[in-house]
């Protein structure tokens, strides 16, 4: 097992070629007020697996692949529900 960081996130955009935008959510409790707070961060990740929007993915830290890409999609942990269209008559 390498000591590269692995993070879970949700794909928010797959409009680019072999690149997806992944939103990472970090939930923590405020130290003084004790309210649960969500912080979001969006990163670009290299995608060879063909992710769709809404998929939950595991991303792995890698060497810089481009100006903005520093992550690689390692696996798709949960697929988003496919939209099934009913034939209109």
pLDDT digits (tens, 9 = 90+) for 26-66: 999 999 999 999 999 999 999 999 999 999 999 999 999 99
Token readout for 27 is 């939930």
Token readout for 62 is 């890698």
Strand ranges inside the chain, DSSP E: 6-16, 19-29, 36-46, 56-61, 69-78
Q: Which residues, 6+ apart, have CB-to-CB distance to 31 below 8 Å?
A: none
Condensed to tens digits (0 to 9), the pLDDT of residues 1-16 reads 678 999 999 999 999 9
Q: Domain ranges in the chain?
A: 6-78
Sequence length of the chain is: 89
CB 33 within 8 A of CB 89: no
pLDDT over threshold 90, residue 20: yes
**pLDDT grade, residue 80 (50/70/90)?**
confident
pLDDT of residue 31: 97
CA pair distance 27, 35, nearest whole angstrom: 10
The model carries a pTM of: 0.83
For 6-78, CATH number out of 1.25.40.10, 2.40.50.140, 2.160.10.10, 3.90.79.10 equals 2.40.50.140
């Amino acid at each position: 097992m390498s000591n590269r960081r692995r993070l879970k996130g949700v794909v928010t955009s797959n409009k680019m070629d072999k690149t997806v935008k992944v939103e990472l959510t970090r939930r923590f409790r405020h130290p003084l007020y004790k309210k649960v707070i969500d912080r979001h961060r969006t990163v670009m990740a290299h995608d060879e697996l063909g992710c769709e929007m809404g998929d939950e993915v595991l991303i792995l830290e890698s060497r810089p692949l481009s100006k903005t890409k520093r992550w690689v999609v390692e696996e798709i942990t949960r697929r988003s529900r496919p939209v099934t269209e009913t034939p209109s008559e």
